[in-house]
Amino acid sequence: LAKTTQPISMDSYEGQEVNITCSHNNIATNDYITWYQQFPSQGPRFIIQGYKTKVTNEVASLFIPADRKSSTLSLPRVSLSDTAVYYCLVGEQTGGFKTIFGAGTRLFVKA
Amino acid sequence: DSGVTQTPKHLITATGQRVTLRCSPRSGDLSVYWYQQSLDQGLQFLIQYYNGEERAKGNILERFSAQQFPDLHSELNLSSLELGDSALYFCASSVATSVNNEQFFGPGTRLTVL
């Protein structure tokens, strides 16, 4: 499973756009990039998934450069309710892996 | 509502005891995952089952075991409990085995070991 690196935490203000970048240098050809959101004491929730270029849904956008060694989750005009932990997940299951989710990025949105 | 149910919601027990956590996956999902999340920690993958068979193992202690039944519900058994086992235990399900498949998480079981 490709290792991912994300910032531990980020702060933002309401109404701003937030970009969270994830590095995944060892991404394989068949790997997709998936982002999850987790609120305190709740299970993670799927946000978006992509393979290359750009993907957009009603919640976020995902930008993936041509080399696919990183990806950026973009949250437009965040609100207080976007305060959560965001996990970047990359890779095809090969069996025997230790963890699926890394430490994630703790986003704190201030008024 | 993800469609994944977990029981019980809360569990308080003593050290040395044994507990069983139950998970019912989303209708149609064949794969079940178990995760442990201690206070302010990330999600630790424990084990995955697919259609009744163990598919992958993570950092699951020998004191812990799991199984998936023919009706696809799963149980996580925790024995000889220690204070450090206190955590939120999440179950997730997906349609297949790939990590690329969207995982739907249940509300979790909060285990407190006293």
Distance from CA of A16 to the nearest CA of B (A): 26
A12-58 pLDDT tens trace: 999 999 999 999 888 888 788 899 999 988 999 999 999 998 999 99
pLDDT, tens digit only, all 114 positions of chain B: 889 999 999 999 999 999 999 999 999 999 999 999 988 677 888 999 999 999 888 889 999 999 999 999 999 999 999 999 999 999 999 998 777 788 999 999 999 999
E strand or H helix at A22, and its extent? strand A18-23
Which has the closest alpha carbon to A27: A4, A6, A8?
A4
List of E strands, B1-114: 5-7, 10-13, 19-24, 31-37, 44-50, 53-57, 64-68, 74-78, 87-94, 104-105, 109-113
Distance from CA of B114 to the nearest CA of A (A): 20
Query: 3-state class of A80 per DSSP?
Result: helix
**Which of B49, B103, B104 best probes binding to A when mutated, by most A CB atoms within 10 angstroms?**
B103
Q: Which amino acid is at B30?
A: L
Cβ–Cβ pairs < 8 A, chains A and B: 74
Structure tokens at B97: 């085995």
